[in-house]
Structure 1
Amino acid sequence: MLASARRSRILDAVRDHGSVRVADLAVQLDVSDMTIRRDLDALAEQGVVRKVHGGAVLAGERAIELGFERKRRFAAAEKRAIARRAAQLVRPGTAVALSAGTTTWQLAQELAQIDGLTLVTNSTNVAMQLHRLGVPGQSIVLTGGVFRTPSDALTGPIADAALRGLNVDVLFLGAHGLDLHAGVTTPNLAEAQTNRTMIASAGQVVVVADHTKWGVVGLATFAPLRAVDVLVTDTGFPRVAREAVADQVGEILFAEPDALDAPA
Structure 2
Amino acid sequence: MIPEQRRDFIYRYVHEKNVASFNELAELMNVSHMTVRRDILALEEEGKVVLINGGIKLNNLLKLELPWREKAELNHDVKRKMGELAAMLIEPGQTIYLDAGTSIFEVAKAVAASNCFNLTVVTNDFSISHYLMDMPHITLYHTGGLVEKRNRSCLGKSAANFLSTINIDVAFISSSSWDLERGMSTPDEGKASVKEMVLQVSKRRVLVSDSSKFGKYAMFHICALSQLTDIICDTALPDDACQTLAAQNLKLHLVSTEREQNHA
Within 5 Å, give how 1:152-231 maps onto structure 2. Answer: 152-231=152-231
TM-score (norm 2): 0.77
- The one of 12, 15, 18 equivalent to 2:11 is 15
Structure 1 residue 175 displacement after superposition: 0.3
- Which of 122, 127, 130 is matched with 2:129 structurally? 127
Aligned equivalents of 2:56 and 2:203: distance in 1? 38
1:117 matched residue in structure 2: 119
* SS of equivalent to 1:245: helix
Post-superposition shift, 1:61?
5.2
Which sections of structure 1, spanning at least 5 residues, go unmatched?
Answer: 1-10, 30-42, 51-57
- Determine if the alignment matches structure 1 residue 89 to structure 2 residue 85: no
Give the direction of change, closer, same or farther, for the CA distance of 1:238–1:250 in structure 2 (3 Å limit).
Answer: same
CA 1:94–1:148 in structure 2 vs 1: closer, same or farther (change >3 Å)? same
Q: Once the 2 structures are TM-superposed, how far is the Cα of residue 245 of structure 1 from its aligned partner?
A: 2.3
In structure 2, stretches of 5+ residues that fail to align are 1-6, 28-49
- The amino acid across from 1:210 in the alignment is D
Q: Identify the residue that residue 98 of structure 1 maps to in structure 2.
A: 98
Overall identity of the aligned pairs, in % = 24
Q: Is the 8 A contact 2:60 2:215 kept in 1?
A: no
Secondary structure of the residue aligned to 1:233 is strand
CA distance 1:224–1:60, shift in 2 (3 Å): closer
Taking the aligned partners of 1:191 and 1:47, their CA distance within structure 2 comes to 35
AA of the residue aligned to 1:167: N
Tell me the distance in 2 between the aligned counterparts of 1:73 and 1:176.
Answer: 15
User: By how many angstroms is 1:236 displaced?
Assistant: 1.0
Q: Aligned letter for 1:157?
A: K
State the Cα distance separating 1:137 from its structure 2 match: 2.4
Tell me which residue corresponds to 1:253: 253
Computed over aligned residues only, the root mean square deviation of the Cα atoms, in angstroms, reads 2.9
The equivalences for 1:49-68 within 5 A come to 49-50=56-57, 58-59=58-59, 62-68=62-68
With the length of structure 1 as denominator, give the TM-score of the two structures: 0.77
Deviation string 1:200-227 (CA, Å, 9 cap, x unpaired) is: 1111000001010110001111111000
Whether the 8 Å CA contact 2:157–2:193 is kept in 1: the answer is: no
2:52 aligned with 1:45 = yes
Tell me how far apart the structure 2 counterparts of residues 169 and 156 of structure 1 sit (CA, whole Å): 22
Mapped contact 2:173–2:207 kept (Cα < 8 A): yes
- Distance in 2 (alpha carbons) for counterparts of 1:100 and 1:49: 29
- The structural deviation recorded for 1:255 is 0.9
For residues 151-170 of structure 1, what are the alpha-carbon distances to aligned partners after superposition, in whole Å with 9 as ceiling and x for unaligned? Answer: 22211222111111100110
Residue 230 of structure 1 deviates from its aligned partner by: 0.3
CA 1:212–1:44 in 2, change beyond 3 Å: closer, same or farther?
A: farther
Q: 2:37 matched to which residue of 1?
A: none
Amino acid paired to 1:19: H
Aligned partner of 1:71: which letter? K
Aligned equivalents of 1:91, 1:17: Cα separation in 2: 38
Q: 1:88-141 CA deviation, whole Å, 9 max, x = no partner? A: 101122110011111001111001123221000011121112225x2x221110
Distance in 2 (CA, whole Å) between partners of 1:21 and 1:189 is 27
